[in-house]
């Protein structure tokens, strides 16, 4: 099976963000990958059963519980979304992922600390971690040059 690239759906223009918008990236390499049919877009939070729009969520730094801005525990939905994402990735033959930076699901290496005060912490989102633990190389959308180099190596 031809290898595939999992990508946060909001990065390819799908309106799945908590506020109903997207984070569409208009860059040549994504257009090329889209034309080649190698992109597998998904949104872990929607897969976990959360609605669009929804309240913004953050991972509590100490406990890794995920809460929304009202303080409600949404960890189960985030865990479900991560498992569904991994399942889809495996089925599709994904070898790498390009995920939205700083999201509590998709963020890689840097996310918000659960205080809803725009404070960063060195950690990754729930789905990002699960994909990495299962051998899928993850890049943020701010690392597209590295992602492209990795993809060329694979090809």
* Interface residues toward ligand SF4, by CB under 6 A: 8-10, 16-17, 43-45, 100, 103, 105-106
Closer residue to ligand SF4, CB minimum distance, 10 or 25: 10
Closer residue to ligand SF4, CB minimum distance, 10 or 96: 10
In terms of C-beta distances under 8 Å and separation of at least 24 residues, what long-range contacts does 71-77 make, across chains too?
74/50, 76/48, 77/45, 77/48, 77/49, 77/50
Closer residue to ligand SF4, CB minimum distance, 38 or 127: 127
Task: Quote the tokens at residue 109.
Answer: 């290496």
Q: How far is the CB of 30 from ligand SF4 (least distance, A)?
A: 14
Q: How far is the CB of 43 from ligand SF4 (least distance, A)?
A: 3
Closer residue to ligand SF4, CB minimum distance, 87 or 149: 87
Q: How far is the CB of 8 from ligand SF4 (least distance, A)?
A: 4
Q: How far is the CB of 48 from ligand SF4 (least distance, A)?
A: 9
How far is it, in rounded angstroms, from Cα 63 to Cα 80?
18
How far is it, in rounded angstroms, from Cα 109 to Cα 101?
9
CA dihedral 111, 114, 116, 117 (to 10 degrees): -70
Q: How far is the CB of 91 from ligand SF4 (least distance, A)?
A: 18
Buried b (16+ CB within 10 A) or exposed e, 59-81: bbbeeeebbbeeeeebbebbbbb
Which strand (E) or helix (H) includes residue 81?
A: helix 75-92
Closer residue to ligand SF4, CB minimum distance, 72 or 149: 72
């Amino acid at each position: 099976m031809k290898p595939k690239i999992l990508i946060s759906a909001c990065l390819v223009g799908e309106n799945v963000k908590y506020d109903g918008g997207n984070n569409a990236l208009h860059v040549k390499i994504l257009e090329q990958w889209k034309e080649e049919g190698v992109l597998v877009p998904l949104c872990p939070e929607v897969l976990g059963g959360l609605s669009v729009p929804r309240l913004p969520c953050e991972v509590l730094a100490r406990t890794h519980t995920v809460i929304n801005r009202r303080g409600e525990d949404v960890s189960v939905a985030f865990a479900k979304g991560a498992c569904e994402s991994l399942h889809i990735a495996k089925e599709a033959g994904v070898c790498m992922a390009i995920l939205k930076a700083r999201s509590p699901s998709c963020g890689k290496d840097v996310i918000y600390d659960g205080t809803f005060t725009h404070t960063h912490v060195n950690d990754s989102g729930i789905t990002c971690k699960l994909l990495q633990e299962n051998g899928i190389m993850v890049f943020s959308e701010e690392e597209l040059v590295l992602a492209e180099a990795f993809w060329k190596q694979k090809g």
